[in-house]
Amino acid sequence: MELQQLRYFLAVASEKNITRAAEHLRLSQPALSRQIHQLEDSLGGPLFERSQGGVTLTERGYYLAEHAKEMVRLADKISANLNTATPVSGELYIGGGETRTLTSVITTFKQMKQLHPDVKLRLYSGNGDDVIDKLDRGILDFGVVIEPVNLAAYASRELPHVDRWGVLTRRDSQIGNRTHLETADLLDLPLILSEQSLVDRHLSDRLGVDLGEAEVVATYNLLYNASLLVHAGIGHALCLDGIINTNGTELVFVPLNPSLTSSVHLIWKNESHLSNVASTFLDMFDEREKTT
């Protein structure tokens, strides 16, 4: 199994048609078909179901596609960071959950870009579990994660600001004109909660209420889609402040009382060898935090 064969395979999987994939790759159709057959032979079975309308992935093909994307992405990352024309160039891979505290990381990259214009940022958005998974597999250089998170396996820096918890709701809802929301009131509302594995248990402990007893009408991974549910009047989203811009909209953020905040951390793998671009970013981040 060769890296180039995986690129060919992913092109066919994306186009769902060998002819279109060959045109995209600027290969002849017979040459591309031959590469796919060789890959299938090396892996011991068909990766595609063929029909007159095109191709669809088999179960084996779905499994390969999931992992091939990460293999190609990691290979591209290594290549970009080794084949550099200047001392500090290449690509910086950062993953982050939804938090406006990410702006301190973005500001550092902006300063870095001004000094080293050949660097590029690959920013991945996902919840904490997704970010840590990609960090562990070497796809990301850094993760920006919101507590709760087990930091024992990672080097980390705590970011300078904290995030505030509350409820995103419609302005015309029964709580839309409140200045704050008592934590006990959460159990009386139809809630939209984060899907992230640790968050609800963590919040229950800190809130002093069991969110397992709440009426949960929906869950979310990223807040934008949850805001659409809120806008439709389906429920109220328990979330962090500042992620959804509510200015001039029908939505409003109501903070919790007593106030509940979460710290945010920049993390990377313990004892990992950072690329030149990642090491430079970390040095600049530390220097910036000393002066702010």
**Count of all residues that appear for the chain in the document:** 292
Question: Could you read off the pLDDT tens digit of each residue along the chain, which spans 292 residues?
Answer: 788 889 899 999 999 999 999 998 888 989 999 999 999 999 999 999 998 888 999 999 999 988 888 888 778 767 766 665 557 778 899 999 888 888 889 999 999 999 999 899 999 988 888 898 889 888 899 999 988 778 888 999 999 888 999 999 999 999 999 999 999 999 999 999 987 644 557 778 888 888 888 899 999 988 999 999 999 999 999 999 999 999 999 999 999 999 999 899 999 988 777 888 898 999 999 988 777 6
Give the CATH number of the domain where residue 57 resides.
1.10.10.10
- Backbone phi, psi, residue 3, to 5°: -60, -40
Together in a domain, 193 and 150? no
Q: Name the domain count of the chain.
A: 3
Together in a domain, 17 and 132? no
> Model pTM?
0.69
Together in a domain, 93 and 139? yes
Together in a domain, 147 and 175? no
Together in a domain, 249 and 287? no
Together in a domain, 53 and 131? no
Give the CATH number of the domain where residue 206 resides.
3.40.190.10
Together in a domain, 255 and 278? no
Together in a domain, 188 and 250? yes
**Quick count: other Cβ atoms within 10 Å of Cβ 158?**
14
Together in a domain, 250 and 170? yes
Asked whether the CA dihedral 223, 225, 231, 235 is positive or negative, the reply is: negative
Is the previous residue joined to 190 through a cis bond, with omega within 30 degrees of 0?
no
Together in a domain, 176 and 139? no
Distances (CA, A) of 19 to 11, 16, 51, 214, 273: 11, 9, 13, 53, 42
Together in a domain, 107 and 122? yes
Q: Which domain holds residue 199?
A: 163-261
